[in-house]
């Protein structure tokens, strides 16, 4: 089969995808996990119920989440420039990726934490645990297995979003597929990139599942 | 010591208010095992959750060991809660932690040293018969074992009060008995005051010395278990007592009754020592009459026997009168009944 890309190009794209996924996952988690915790503890009836915090955070997340990634990408270019001093390239793609995936992680974390048996939180409160202790010793450990799956889902969502990051010259596997495979009818590139993405997603999901089972003592 | 003084609790939900507790007064002295019994929805859980202030009273006061919890701030309240243990119907253990770590949690919250934690947890596991389960996870335990973990955890911080909300309701009768024995042992050994909420009269019968009967957010009857069991006044109490003390004459016996129109029927009730005396034997020896025991039941409550009996006396009227006087003189509560 004829192809116009070199293996160097492929490796560079691979590296770019991993960079984008890795960095944005890290920073988005730093933002998203606390958001998820905040949503759970400040919701009505939560251990730190707070009308204001919840009442503001909740709709703001909905608004950000309702924006398609491609719109977000373009809309925040000035902000991106402010943060990374450029609006093109891999690092410029990371900023919108973080902004896109952090609220998503927030929601997923919220759902995971809400699954924790309320009886356990009641027991914690009856023991005289402080709100921090409730979160640290009861809520997070009990939700740990579910949180692993949450992060798995977020990572896979992120891989999908990086494909669109090519639009701002972010590069990566997805960009390769679009600019060579789709625009230049290079079937080989399509096949290889699809295979790589499928392998990524499969690998991440099965590692996630295994870790989650272990955390839940189901092994 | 636990005291509720004229406590009201109203829940507001979507504009509809519901009075879960209506003027509850209750006092459990140090060392009491105070039972609260009632049907589902009576307000028992609400009552028990007021004691450690998981729920705040709408009106009235709650005292624990003389401390006015309703006047405490968050911090003081957290400290006070460490002196109040609680166990639950569904155990509420951390599924991702071993038995050892579950029991250790209250001590971790108290920031005790590793060594102190190890010693205390080992001691508690031994006391509750779980030493060989220290490394297991809750999933691997039976219901009874899980409740033992719950009990060990509740005792870890050396509380003076233990609250039990339907602690045996998810367990089979045999396991229930062993958990109740454990609670009794804790009460006797450490003098911990307990408040036990249940819908099962057998729980009250086996371990409580005082009981309150709840209905629709009110306590309809309370007192020493023996008094309440011996002489239940409120219809709800009578219903509950009937679940453990059967004082009904079987139908088959009733049918044979009409055959002897001359005879008279008496209901006897005896408490304590008189129950074990050979009263009936004395009755027959001293009086010239025929004694027919239609029904007899003995129940042990608080190491005291409570007896119920229905007898049919057949003989001359004055003899029967004298026989009734004799029984009353023996400390038996006697009551003539016209029909059953
Ligand atoms: N948080 C709550 N909000 C609204 N109603 C409640 C709440 N907790 C309990 N109730 C109501 O109060 C009543 C008493 O409930 P509860 O104390 O749980 O009864 P029990 O434990 O005796 O079954 C019930 O009618 C219940 O629906
Ligand atoms: Mg209840």
B223-252 confidence digits (pLDDT tens): 999 999 888 999 999 999 988 887 777 777
Instruction: Please state, for a pLDDT cut of 90, what percent of chain B lies above it.
Output: 67
Write down all domains in chain B, each with its CATH number in brackets. 2-242 (3.40.50.300), 251-339 (3.30.70.260)
A148-155 average pLDDT score: 95
Is the minimum distance from the CB of B46 to ligand 1 under 6 angstroms?
A: yes
Give the model's pLDDT for residue B82.
Answer: 95
Does residue B340 carry a pLDDT above 70? no
Q: What residues of chain B lie within 8 A of the CB of A133, using their CB? A: 109
Number of H helices and E strands in chain A, helices first, is 10, 0
Q: Sorting pLDDT into bands at 50, 70 and 90, what band is B302?
A: confident
Give nearest CA residue, ligand 1 atom 26.
Answer: B41
Give the model's pLDDT for residue A162.
Answer: 87
CA B221-B224-B229 angle, 5° bins = 70
Give nearest CA residue, ligand 1 atom 21.
Answer: B45
- Cβ neighbours of residue B189 under 8 Å, at least 6 residues apart? none
Give the model's pLDDT for residue B65.
Answer: 93
Does residue A67 carry a pLDDT above 80? yes
pTM of the model: 0.89
Give the model's pLDDT for residue A183.
Answer: 81
Query: What's the rounded Cα separation, in Å, for the pair B191 and A118?
Result: 31
Of the candidates B54, B90, B108, the beta carbon closest to that of A126 is on: B54
User: Would you call B219 helix, strand, or coil by DSSP?
Assistant: strand
B307-332 average pLDDT score: 88
ipTM above 0.90, yes or no: no
Is the minimum distance from the CB of B42 to ligand 1 under 6 angstroms?
A: yes
Does residue A190 carry a pLDDT above 90? no
Of the candidates B79, B94, B137, the beta carbon closest to that of A128 is on: B79
Give the model's pLDDT for residue B278.
Answer: 78
Q: Which range (A46-55, A74-83, B140-149) has the least confidence?
A: A74-83
B85-94 average pLDDT score: 97
Residues β-bridged to residue B165: B197
Pocket test for ligand 1, best of B8, B11, B36, B37 (most atoms within 8 A of CB): B11
* Cα B199 to middle of ligand 1, angstroms: 15
Give the model's pLDDT for residue A181.
Answer: 79
Q: Which ligand is in closest contact with the Cα of B50?
A: 1
- What order of strands is seen across the sheet that includes strand B210-215? B84-87, B161-165, B193-198, B33-38, B210-215, B218-224
B245-265 confidence digits (pLDDT tens): 877 777 777 777 666 667 888
B29-39 confidence digits (pLDDT tens): 999 999 999 99
B133-144 average pLDDT score: 96
By CB atoms closer than 10 A (0-12, 13-18, 19+), residue B204 is buried
Give the model's pLDDT for residue B258.
Answer: 60
List residues, by chain if needed, whose CB lies under 5 Å from ion ligand 2. Answer: B 45
Note whether B88 contacts A120, CB cutoff 8 Å: no
Residues β-bridged to residue B34: B195, B210
Give the model's pLDDT for residue B104.
Answer: 98
Q: Sorting pLDDT into bands at 50, 70 and 90, what band is B199?
A: very high
Mean pLDDT over the full length of chain B: 91
Query: What's the rounded Cα separation, in Å, for the pair B90 and A182?
Result: 58
Mean pLDDT over the full length of chain A: 91
Other Cβ atoms within 10 Å of A174 Cβ, number: 25
* Cα B107 to middle of ligand 1, angstroms: 31
Residue B185 vs residue A92, higher pLDDT: B185
Q: Sorting pLDDT into bands at 50, 70 and 90, what band is B40?
A: very high
The answer to whether residue B109 neighbours chain A at the CB level (below 8 Å) is yes
Of the candidates B54, B95, B97, the beta carbon closest to that of A125 is on: B54
For residues A145 and A75, the answer to whether their CB atoms sit within 8 Å is: no
Give the model's pLDDT for residue A122.
Answer: 96
Q: What residues of chain B lie within 8 A of the CB of A137, using their CB? A: 105, 108-109
A19-36 average pLDDT score: 96
Is the minimum distance from the CB of B9 to ligand 1 under 6 angstroms?
A: no
Q: If residue B318 lies in a helix (H) or strand (E), which one and from where to where?
A: helix B317-329
* Cα B215 to middle of ligand 2, angstroms: 13
Give the model's pLDDT for residue A169.
Answer: 76
Is the minimum distance from the CB of B43 to ligand 1 under 6 angstroms?
A: yes
Q: Which of B12, B55, B95 to mutate to test the interface with A (most CBs of A within 10 A)?
A: B95
Residue A145: closest CA among chain B residues belongs to which residue? Answer: B96
Query: What's the rounded Cα separation, in Å, for the pair A135 and A156?
Result: 27
């Amino acid at each position: 089969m004829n192809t116009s890309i070199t293996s160097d190009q492929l490796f560079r794209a691979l590296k770019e995808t991993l960079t984008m996924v890795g960095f944005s996952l890290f920073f988005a988690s730093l933002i998203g996990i606390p958001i998820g915790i905040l949503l759970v503890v400040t919701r009505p009836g939560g251990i730190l119920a707070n009308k204001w915090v919840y009442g503001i955070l909740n709709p703001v997340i909905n608004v950000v989440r309702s924006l398609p990634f491609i719109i977000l990408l373009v809309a925040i270019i000035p902000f991106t420039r402010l943060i990374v001093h450029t609006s093109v390239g891999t690092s410029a793609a990371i900023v919108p990726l973080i902004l896109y995936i952090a609220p998503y992680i927030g929601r997923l974390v919220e759902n995971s934490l809400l699954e924790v048996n309320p009886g356990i939180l009641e027991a914690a409160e009856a023991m005289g645990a402080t709100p921090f202790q409730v979160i640290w010793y009861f809520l997070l450990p009990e939700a740990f297995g579910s949180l692993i799956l949450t992060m798995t889902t977020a990572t896979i969502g992120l891989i999908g979003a990086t494909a669109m990051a090519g639009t701002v010259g972010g590069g990566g596997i997805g960009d390769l597929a679009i600019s060579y495979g789709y625009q230049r009818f290079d079937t080989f590139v399509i096949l290889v990139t699809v295979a790589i993405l499928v392998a990524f997603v499969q690998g991440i999901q099965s590692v996630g599942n295994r870790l989650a089972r272990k955390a839940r003592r189901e092994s | 010591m636990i005291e509720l003084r004229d406590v009201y609790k109203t829940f507001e939900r979507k504009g509809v208010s519901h009075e879960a507790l209506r003027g509850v007064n209750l006092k459990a002295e140090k060392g009491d095992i105070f039972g609260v019994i009632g049907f589902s929805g009576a307000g028992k859980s609400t009552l028990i959750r007021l004691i450690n202030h998981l729920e705040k009273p709408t009106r009235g006061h709650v005292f624990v060991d003389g401390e006015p919890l309703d006047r405490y701030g968050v911090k003081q309240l957290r400290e006070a809660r460490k002196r109040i243990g609680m166990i639950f119907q569904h155990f509420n253990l951390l599924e991702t932690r071993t038995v050892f770590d579950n029991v250790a949690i209250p001590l971790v919250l108290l920031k005790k040293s590793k060594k102190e934690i190890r010693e205390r947890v080992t001691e508690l596991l031994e006391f509750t018969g779980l030493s060989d389960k220290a490394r297991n996870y809750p999933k691997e335990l039976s219901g009874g074992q899980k409740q033992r973990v719950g009990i060990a955890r509740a005792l870890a911080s050396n509380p003076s009060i233990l609250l039990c909300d339907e602690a045996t309701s998810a367990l089979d009768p045999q396991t229930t008995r062993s958990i109740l024995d454990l609670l009794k042992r804790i009460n006797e050994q450490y003098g911990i005051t307990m408040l036990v909420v249940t819908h099962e009269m057998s729980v009250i019968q086996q371990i409580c010395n005082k009981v309150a009967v709840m209905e629709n957010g009110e306590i309809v009857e309370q007192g020493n278990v023996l008094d309440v069991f011996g002489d239940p006044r409120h219809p709800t109490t009578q219903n509950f007592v009937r679940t453990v003390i059967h004082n009904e004459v079987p139908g088959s016996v009733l049918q044979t009754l009409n055959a002897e129109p001359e005879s008279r029927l008496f209901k006897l009730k005896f408490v304590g020592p008189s129950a074990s005396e050979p009263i009936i034997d004395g009755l027959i020896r001293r009086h010239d009459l025929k004694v027919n025991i239609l029904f007899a039941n003995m129940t042990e409550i608080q190491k005291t026997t409570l007896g119920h009996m229905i007898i049919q006396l057949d003989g001359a009227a004055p003899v029967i009168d004298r026989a009734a006087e004799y029984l009353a003189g023996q400390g038996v509560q006697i009551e003539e009944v016209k029909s059953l």
